[in-house]
Structure 1
Amino acid sequence: MKNRRLTRMTRTLAAGLALATLGMPDALADNQFKLLVLAIPNKYHYEYIPIARDSLERLAKLHAFELVWTNKTQVFEGDLRQYAAVMFLNTPGEELNPAQRAKFEEYMRAGGNAIVVHRAAITPADNWPWYEKLVGRRVGVHPMLQTGVVTTVDKGFPATYGLPERWIWSDEFYVTTNPYNVKINPVLNVDESSYDPRKIWPGQVSEPMGKDHPIAWHHRHEQGRVFVTTLGHNGEMYRDPQYVGHLMGGIYWTATGLGQRR
């Protein structure tokens, strides 16, 4: 009888350990890194927010990273060192006050990293030159949203994995200049023969950039990595698997420095 009781206890204990072990991977899984996303609604970009947030939260769960989403710039007054990267999502740096700007500059000088998406690349000229250098280009005007052909420049960069060499996409293809002579590494270009680069609103003028028209790039600023994509104008884009994959590739490289083929 005693042996039967011991056997039953042993089986019960073994079953309990098995169940506990099955639950351990989720319970003990560590996030790989922490990403801060600043997304403030503005006149032209607000409907994207719930869609982009949902997509990014799904990416965070799928790829095991922690996502901190905010529309409050006060987060820049805290400890930014906890974040592997900071994403400005359709929210330019001009939203930060002088003290918050100083904290972000300090973060980048200490090896922090930044991701700039679409509208976040547009900031008033000479308002914050340091941020313009971080972006790497100054956005002048942008033609109306049109369908064009995006071309892959760097097949070895994670933000292009899964994209074809020529990609049909509809967006505002920003026209940029380089007043601070910043060296960038183009990731995607747009073929200006595939849309009308002069098609713009009355009272404005848009001129073609020519063969070299980067719309996504990466470079170093201070001691950190910077990834910029000027794509992402409307909400539905954040449901598109190819665009979301493009973003994830940029997040992955910016936060970790990994994944780039040489």
Structure 2
Amino acid sequence: MKKLLAKLLLATAALAPIVSHADAQFSVLVLAIPTRYHYEYIPVARESFERMAKLHAFDMVWTAQLQALEGDLSKYAAIVFLNTSGEELNEAQRRGVEAYIKGDGKQRGGNAVIVHRAIISKPGLWPWYEQLVGRSFKIHPMLQSAVVTKADASHPASFALPAQWIWSDEWYEFTNPHGVSIHPILKVDERSYDPTKIWPGQTATGMGADHPVAWSHTHEGARVFVSALGHNAEMYKDPNYLGHLWGGIYWAATGKGIQQP
């Protein structure tokens, strides 16, 4: 009887619907390579991203192999640069990303999600990537707690967050050498932390009232979502932060979710 029951259960399981490549809403490629200051986050973030993919029924390929950028990327609705910046890529991989974003004339190009350390690229090394990001990294003070506010409550990347959110992070300062127009989603209130608190020999001054920490824009037809948040591993266990990233991924991959007034 027990053997018969086990066979029935196996047969039922074989017929049960599962999320497969055919069922998924879209596919994303997540690039997450270990670097000097960012490596402990990888197993935590991977587990959270895998759970996110299962929960929201999308396919995800997670890799630390940058050679993935040299193959066919057209199946991905978005590439997530998770603490993996353009300066880590070789020439062939950079050309692969550019071709993916631009498309081939017959097929629309892809989209990008750029998170925390992925923003940072050596000035002048790959100007195209700097424009893709939309802002260039200048410096950051020591990690501190601060108040984050919604610059755009209609964007999916802000839905999971309260109107005011106390978060602890490295508050990157930015410049705009390429004159890129961005759409701020979140800002940090510099009155809630000390923008000048930094290591000896360095100087940080802050950016004043207009200090974005998450934004969106388009680049060569691509939807680009950028978040400067996410310095340490524990953040990838935080529901608010993960909801913020999921909202950005969802928008970048689909173009949907913006709430009209």
TM above 0.5, one fold? yes
Structural mapping, 1:174-185, within 5 Å = 174-185=172-183
Structure 1 residues 26 and 119: alpha-carbon distance in aligned structure 2, compared to 1, 3 A threshold: closer
**Deviation of the 1:100 alpha carbon:** 1.1
Structural mapping, 1:105-116, within 5 Å = 105-110=98-103, 111-116=109-114
Paired position in structure 2 for 1:78: 71
Deviations 1:76-124 (A, max 9, x none): 1100101100011011011111111111101101121000000000110
Candidates 217, 234, 242, aligned match of 1:244: 242
SS in 1 for 2:236: helix
Paired position in structure 2 for 1:30: 23
Q: What number of residue pairs does the alignment pair up?
A: 247
**Deviation of the 1:243 alpha carbon:** 0.2
Structure 1 residues 98 and 169: alpha-carbon distance in aligned structure 2, compared to 1, 3 A threshold: same
SS in 1 for 2:124: coil
> Is 1:95 aligned to residue 88 of structure 2?
yes
Deviations 1:177-223 (A, max 9, x none): 10000000000000000000001111110012110000000000112
Paired position in structure 2 for 1:206: 204
Distance of 2:17 and 2:80 partners within structure 1? 32
Structural mapping, 1:1-262, within 5 Å = 23-24=16-17, 30-110=23-103, 111-262=109-260
Structure index of larger Rg: 1
Structure 1: unaligned runs, 5 residues or longer: 1-14
User: What is the percent sequence identity of the aligned residues?
Assistant: 61
Paired position in structure 2 for 1:3: none
Q: What TM-score does the superposition give when structure 1 sets the normalisation length?
A: 0.91
Amino acid at match of 1:104: V
> Could you tell me whether the CA contact under 8 Å between 2:115 and 2:227 is conserved in 1?
yes
Paired position in structure 2 for 1:11: none
Distance of 1:124 and 1:22 partners within structure 2? 52
SS in 2 for 1:216: strand
Distance of 2:222 and 2:67 partners within structure 1? 22
Amino acid at match of 2:100: Y
SS in 1 for 2:96: helix
Deviations 1:16-52 (A, max 9, x none): 9x95897246579701111100111011000000000
SS in 2 for 1:82: coil
The runs of at least 4 aligned residues of structure 1 exceeding 6 Å deviation read none
> Could you tell me whether the CA contact under 8 Å between 2:141 and 2:197 is conserved in 1?
yes
Distance of 1:27 and 1:95 partners within structure 2? 32
Distance of 1:225 and 1:191 partners within structure 2? 26
Distance of 2:39 and 2:89 partners within structure 1? 18
Distance of 1:239 and 1:20 partners within structure 2? 31
More helix by share: 1
Deviations 1:50-87 (A, max 9, x none): 00000000000000011101111100110010110001
SS in 2 for 1:150: strand
Which deviates further from its counterpart, 105-114 or 186-195?
105-114
SS in 1 for 2:48: helix
Structure 1 residues 148 and 29: alpha-carbon distance in aligned structure 2, compared to 1, 3 A threshold: same
Structure 1 residues 69 and 202: alpha-carbon distance in aligned structure 2, compared to 1, 3 A threshold: same
Paired position in structure 1 for 2:4: none
Structure 2: unaligned runs, 5 residues or longer: 1-7, 104-108
